[in-house]
C-alpha cells in the first residue's frame, strides 16, 4: 500500500535482532505520517514463531517466506525473494538493518529493482510530499548528509542502537501471509557458520556497552583484562586496528573506518590514542570513557570521562568496583538513554 513501511526482519536463534525492533518503532512513526502501517518481511526456515514478536513490537502484518533454501542467508536467494515481495506489495519505504546481512542484501535488492538506497541512516523526517528526508553520517562521521531519494519505494539501511523501539505489547497480533518461495538458481551458498573460538562472541554492532582495547594493551593476553570487565558489564569487546594488525584479536572486533561502526550507550577505550580512523567508528557512542596514560591523547577530546593512568592498574580496579556495585545493586549495567 502507498503509505506502508516494510521492515526486513533479522533474527538469530529464534530471537529478533534489536535493530529490527528499532526499525519497527521508527517504521511505525514514519508510517503514521504517511497514512500507512508498518509491515515486516520475515525470511528463513522454520521461523514462523518469530512472527508473534514482530507483532508485539508494532508490525501489523507479517510476510513470511519460510523454506529450507532460506535457512542460511544467501545474497542471491534473499534478493530474489525480497525483491519479489517489494514488487508485490509496493510499500512507500523499505528499511533494513545496517548490519552485515543488511549491508549485503539492501544494495542487491536496490540494484535489482532499480531503486535508490541510503545506507547507515540515523534519522528520518517526512516531507510534505511524503518523501523521506534522510540523515546519514558521511566521511567517517565528520559530516552529516541529508538525502532524499527520487525512486519509490524509498530504501534505507538503519544504524543499530539509534532509533527507539516501541514498548512491547503482547496483546498486539498480526496476520501472517505466507509467500510462495521461489529463490531461483542460488550459485553461492553458505555451507556452515563457524563460531570464532577463544575470544568472546562479538555482537559489536548492537552492543549497548563496548570495552575496547588498542596498542596500549601491549599484547594479546591483555585482552583477558578487558574481557573480565566486559563480562561484569555484559559488554562486547572491541579493538583498534593496531591491535588487530598485531594479530592480538580477530578483525571482527575492529572498530573504525575499516572495521565496524558502533553506537553503544557506553564505549570504554583502553590504551587507544583516538586516531580519526578509530573515531570514525565510535564517536557517536552516547558516552565515551577513555583510559590512557598520555594526557594529550586525542581520544580525550571526544571523551565524556577521561582517566589519565595506566590501564593495567585502572581496568582491574574498574572491574572490581563494578562487580561490587552490581552485586550491591548500587548501579545497573544498563546505561540510561538520556543525559541527565
Ligand atoms: C586507511 C586507514 C584506515 C584505518 N582504519 C582504522 C580502523 O578502522 N580502526 C582503527 O582503530 N584504526 C584504523 N586505522 C589506523 C589508525 O590510523 C591508527 O593507527 C590506530 O587507530 C591506532 O591504534 P591505537 O590507538 O591502538 O594505537 P596507538 O595510536 O599506538 O595508541 C596507543 C595508545 O595507548 C596508550 N597507552 C600505551 N600504554 C598504555 C597504558 N599502559 N595505559 C594506558 N594507555 C596506554 C598510548 O598513550 C597511546 O595513546 C586506519 C588507518 C588508515 C590509514
Q: Answer yes or no: are the C-beta atoms of 268 and 293 closer than 8 Å.
A: no
Look at ligand 1, atom 29, and give the residue with the nearest C-alpha: 273
CB of 256 sitting under 6 A from ligand 1: yes
Query: What average pLDDT does the segment 200-220 reach?
Result: 88
CA 305 to ligand 1 centroid distance, Å = 19
Interval 16-26 mean pLDDT:
96
Q: What is the pLDDT of residues 98-107, one digit of tens each?
A: 998 999 999 9
Cα 311 to averaged position of ligand 1 atoms, centre (Å): 15
Per-residue pLDDT averaged across 36-40, rounded?
98
- For CA atoms 123, 100, 60, 183, give the dihedral sign: positive
Determine phi and psi for 108, rounding to 5 degrees: -65, -45
Mutate to test the pocket of ligand 1, among 139, 257, 262, 269 (most ligand atoms within 8 A of CB): 257
* pLDDT above 50: residue 338: no
Residue 268 pLDDT > 50: yes
Ligand 1 centre distance from Cα of residue 213 (Å): 9
Q: Could you tell me if the CB of 222 is within 6 A of ligand 1?
A: no
Residue with cell 529463490: 183
Is the pLDDT assigned to residue 135 strictly greater than 90?
A: yes
The residue contributing the CA closest to ligand 1 atom 43 is 292
Residue that is written with C-alpha cell 525512486 in the block: 151
274 pLDDT exceeds 60?
yes
Mutate to test the pocket of ligand 1, among 141, 215, 314 (most ligand atoms within 8 A of CB): 215
pLDDT tier, 337 (very low <50, low <70, confident <90, very high otherwise): very low
Between 335 and 97, where is the model more confident? Answer: 97
Q: Would you state the cell numbers that stand for residue 189, as one nine-digit string? A: 551458498
331 pLDDT higher than 80: no
How far apart, in whole angstroms, are the C-alpha atoms of residue 124 and residue 312? 43
**Cell 575496547 sits on residue:** 212
Q: Are 210 and 181 in contact (CB under 8 A)?
A: no
Whether residue 297 has its Cβ less than 6 Å from ligand 1: yes
Residue 316 is placed in which grid cell? 582491574
- pLDDT at res. 202: 55
* pLDDT at residue 197 in the model: 62
pLDDT: which is higher, 83 or 335: 83
Residue 198 is predicted with a pLDDT of 56
For ligand 1, whether the C-beta of 293 sits within 6 Å is yes
Which range, of 71-85, 134-148, 279-293, 311-325, averages the lowest pLDDT? 134-148
Name the 3-class secondary structure at 54: helix
| Least confidently predicted of 20-34, 105-119, 172-186, 210-224 | 172-186
Cα–Cα distances in Å, from 245 out to 21, 258, 275? 35, 12, 15
For residue 291, the ligand 1 atom closest to its alpha carbon is 43
Which atom of ligand 1 is found nearest the CA of 299?
Answer: 49
Nearest CA, atom 14, ligand 1: 277
Residue 334's pLDDT is 57
The per-residue pLDDT of the chain, averaged, comes to 92
Answer whether residue 200 shows pLDDT above 70.
no
Proportion of the chain above pLDDT 70, given as a percent: 94
Looking at the predicted structure, is the pLDDT value of residue 217 above 60?
yes
pLDDT of res. 248: 97
What pTM value is reported for the model?
Answer: 0.81
pLDDT at 139: 84
State the distance from the centre of ligand 1 to the C-alpha of 33, rounded, in angstroms: 44
Amino acid at each position: 500500500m502507498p503509505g506502508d513501511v516494510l521492515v526486513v526482519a533479522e533474527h538469530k536463534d529464534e530471537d529478533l535482532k534489536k535493530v529490527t525492533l528499532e526499525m519497527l518503532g521508527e517504521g511505525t512513526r514514519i508510517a503514521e505520517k504517511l497514512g500507512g502501517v508498518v509491515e515486516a518481511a520475515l525470511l528463513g526456515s522454520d521461523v514462523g514463531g518469530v512472527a508473534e514478536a514482530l507483532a508485539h513490537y508494532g508490525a501489523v502484518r507479517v510476510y513470511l517466506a519460510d523454506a529450507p533454501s532460506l535457512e542460511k542467508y544467501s545474497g542471491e536467494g534473499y534478493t530474489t525473494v525480497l525483491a519479489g515481495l517489494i514488487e508485490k506489495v509496493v510499500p512507500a519505504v523499505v528499511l533494513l538493518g545496517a548490519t552485515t546481512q543488511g549491508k549485503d542484501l539492501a544494495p542487491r535488492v536496490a540494484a535489482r529493482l532499480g531503486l535508490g538506497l541510503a545506507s547507515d541512516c540515523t534519522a528520518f523526517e517526512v516531507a510534505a510530499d511524503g518523501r523521506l528526508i534522510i540523515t546519514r553520517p558521511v566521511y567517517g562521521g565528520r559530516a552529516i548528509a541529508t538525502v532524499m531519494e527520487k525512486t519509490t519505494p524509498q530504501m534505507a539501511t538503519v544504524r543499530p542502537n539509534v532509533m527507539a523501539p516501541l514498548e512491547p505489547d503482547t496483546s498486539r497480533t498480526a496476520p501472517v501471509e505466507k509467500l510462495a518461495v521461489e529463490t531461483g538458481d542460488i550459485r553461492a551458498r553458505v555451507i556452515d557458520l563457524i563460531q570464532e573460538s577463544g575470544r568472546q562472541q562479538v555482537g559489536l554492532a548492537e552492543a549497548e556497552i563496548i570495552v575496547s582495547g588498542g596498542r596500549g594493551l601491549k599484547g594479546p593476553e591483555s585482552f583477558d583484562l578487558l574481557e573480565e570487565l566486559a563480562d561484569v558489564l555484559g559488554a562486547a569487546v572491541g579493538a583498534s586496528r593496531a591491535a588487530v594488525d598485531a594479530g592480538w584479536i580477530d578483525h571482527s572486533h575492529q572498530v573504525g573506518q575499516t572495521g565496524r561502526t558502533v553506537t553503544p550507550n557506553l564505549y570504554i577505550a583502553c590504551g587507544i590514542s583516538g586516531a580519526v580512523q578509530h573515531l570514525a567508528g565510535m564517536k557517536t557512542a552516547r558516552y565515551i570513557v577513555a583510559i590512557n596514560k598520555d594526557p594529550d591523547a586525542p581520544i580525550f577530546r571526544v571523551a565524556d570521562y577521561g582517566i589519565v593512568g595506566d590501564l593495567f592498574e585502572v581496568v582491574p580496579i574498574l572491574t572490581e568496583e563494578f562487580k561490587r556495585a552490581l552485586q550491591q545493586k548500587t548501579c545497573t549495567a544498563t546505561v540510561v538513554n538520556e543525559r541527565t
